Amino acid sequence: MLRLGSMLSLKQDWENVRNLRGIVRDAATGMPPLYFFSIFGWPSTWLTPDERFSEFRIINPWRLGRTIRFLWQISVPSIPLNPPVFGPPMLNRFFWEPSVILQRPDHIGSFTSFPQEAWFCVNGIMTNDSVAQINSAYLADLFYRPITMIWNSTDSLLVDLFECAIGKQWYYNVEPAIVAFPPLYDALKDPCKERVVVIAHSQGTIIMANILRLLKSLYVGPRPSGGDRGLLDELIPSGFAPAEFVYPDQTPVDLGDFGPIYDDELAKLEVYLFANCANTMAYLRPPAPGKLPLPWIENYGNEYDLVARLGMLAPDAATHDIEIAGPIYQRNNAWGHLLGAHYLYPIESQQRHGRRRGGEGTADPFVLLNPEAPHYPSPRLFDYINGGSPSADSAPAIEAPVVVANGHAQT
Cα end-to-end span (Å), the chain = 43
The pLDDT value given to residue 326 = 97
Lowest mean pLDDT: which of 29-33, 103-107, 404-408?
A: 404-408
pLDDT at 49 exceeding the cut of 80: no
Better-predicted residue by pLDDT, 240 or 260: 260
The per-residue pLDDT for range 103-144, each reduced to its tens digit, is: 999 999 999 999 999 999 999 999 999 999 999 999 999 999
Q: How confident is residue 8, by pLDDT bands cut at 50, 70 and 90?
A: low
Distance of CA 162 to the CA centre of its chain: 18
pLDDT at 239 exceeding the cut of 70: no
Contacts of 259 (CB under 8 A, 6+ apart): 189, 218, 230, 232, 233
Provide the β-strand partners of residue 300. Answer: 274, 329
301-308: average pLDDT: 97
What's the predicted TM-score (pTM) here? 0.90
Q: How confident is residue 4, by pLDDT bands cut at 50, 70 and 90?
A: very low
Q: How confident is residue 352, by pLDDT bands cut at 50, 70 and 90?
A: very high
320-339: average pLDDT: 97
153-176: average pLDDT: 92
